[in-house]
Amino acid sequence: MGSLVPIRLVCGEQVIWQNDSPNSSYWCRPIFFEFVKENKITILQEKNAIEQEIADLMDTEVGEINISHSLLMTMIDGKATSILCDTSSQRCDICKATPSEMNNLSLIASKQTDLDLCRYGLSSLHIWIRMMECILHIAYRLTIKTWAVKGDTKCILESKKKNIQDAFKNRMGLLIDVVKQGHGTTNDGNTARRFFANPSITAEITGVSENLIRRFAIILEAISSGYHIDVVKFHDYAQATMQLYVDLYSWYYMPSSVHKVLMHGAAIIESFSLLPIGQLSEEAAEARNKDFRRYRQHHSRKCSRKATNEDILNNLLISSDPLISTKRHKFGRKHKSLSKEAQSLIIERAETFDDDDQENFEIANVDILDTD
């Protein structure tokens, strides 16, 4: 599934239209839908096709108004990003560091980085899950204090894991690391947000440093806020967090996704100067998975696969129609206020654009593939 989310329409420095819910599935427009196996070949084929279409895209003329389009390919998760960057999921996409090198900060700092790969964004929804799983994997290994689990240590890890799972279920009502038949695990975005909502309880259950959990939560909060982030402050805070991680748990190699945020997060945020990184999330495309299953089960013909897929696509088009979305009743949602620590990483400034004031520019977020 290829998707697009319109984010903003601007004329010079004037914002004509702004999507108030860029992470909502109501604005996630399908570009294409193919019933094919998702693998490296198909992902690269679709990526090349999308890039060619973007290159061939012509300006839209509405009367005397000329609209040009700027599309950002950021609605992808770590799996797709690794394929597009031609690296494995355990290596860093930007500096190509291996797992054994992640905790060697002096070596990491000396590595050459490919800043061009920053254009794929941060996957700000999945990073919640990856950071939660990082804390959990450390907690499972606190007794053995080794990254690799072999032989008799497997029993120790499984016992520790079971105790932590039971504690989270009893104290916070969370199902952690429970396998769902055909749908991965229970580790989703909502679970991760509740996991980091109360660092003190999470630290009591896991035995992991409360300071580290709190710093992870603040970084995630700032990234997902939808506000512009002070790159210098974020860099300093992330570097201090990385040093704390290495000082406390040097025996557990930092996951590549966590390394990417802490080491290269500031550079990635800086590369998207026009828009806050939180507005370039893959959350809208991920939310479409639930819609896809619902349309397939309850709102599609079952006489043939072709008819089923046609009905699914038609429902996706209807539910994401821009005119319909603008007329939807906006329910009052309680937006959680940012913590003081997260607010210190946020900056408020007027949008600046280098483009001609007489032209309009549409900025959109593109999803190459729905990698559920």
Q: What is the mean pLDDT of residues 295-313?
A: 93
The pLDDT assigned to 203 comes to: 96
**Phi-psi region at 351: left, alpha or beta (left = phi > 0; alpha = psi -120 to 50):** beta
Q: How confident is the model over 168-187, as a mean pLDDT? A: 87
How would residue 185 be classed by pLDDT, with cut points 50, 70 and 90?
confident
Phi, psi of 29 (to 5 degrees): -90, 130
347 φ, ψ to 5°?
A: -125, 150
Q: What is the pLDDT of residues 243-261, one digit of tens each?
A: 999 999 999 999 999 999 9
**What is the per-residue pLDDT for 348?**
62
**Burial zone of 83 (CB within 10 Å; 0-12 exposed, 13-18 middle, 19+ buried):** buried
Structure tokens at 188: 């989703």
Question: For residues 107 and 113, is the Cβ–Cβ distance under 8 A?
Answer: no
Q: pLDDT tens-digit profile of 343-360? A: 889 886 433 334 443 345
| pLDDT tens column, 315-340 | 999 999 888 888 877 655 555 678 88
Q: 40-93, pLDDT tens digit by residue?
A: 899 999 999 999 999 999 999 988 889 999 998 888 888 888 888 888 888 888
The continuous run of DSSP H or E covering 70 comes out as: strand 65-72
Give the pLDDT mean for 258-279: 90
Query: Is 251 in contact with 145 (CB distance < 8 Å)?
Result: yes
CB-CB neighbours of 135 under 10 Å:
23
How large a percentage of the chain has pLDDT more than 90?
A: 45
Is-contact 127 112, C-beta < 8 A?
A: no
Q: Tell me whether strands 360-367 and 65-72 are parallel, antiparallel or unpaired.
A: parallel
Question: At 364, is the pLDDT very low, low, confident or very high (cuts 50, 70, 90)?
Answer: low
Please state the rounded mean pLDDT for residues 101-126: 88
Provide mean pLDDT across the span 10-15: 87
CA distance 192 to 177: 11
**Average pLDDT value for residue range 218-237:** 92
pLDDT of residue 68: 92
Note the pLDDT of residue 297: 93
Are the C-beta atoms of 315 and 299 separated by less than 8 Å? yes
The predicted structure's pLDDT at residue 372:
39
Burial class (CB in 10 A: 0-12, 13-18, 19+), 216: buried
Tokens of 113: 């980085």
Quote the pLDDT of residue 248.
95
Mean pLDDT over each residue of the chain, to the nearest integer: 86
Nearest to 127, CA basis, from 237, 264, 270: 264
Kindly state the percentage of the chain with pLDDT values over 70: 91
Is residue 371 over pLDDT 50?
no
Is-contact 139 157, C-beta < 8 A? no
What pLDDT sits at residue 349?
A: 45
Reference 202, options 239, 233, 176; nearest CA is 176
188 contacts 132 by C-beta, under 8 angstroms: no
Whether the pLDDT of residue 268 is over 80: the answer is yes
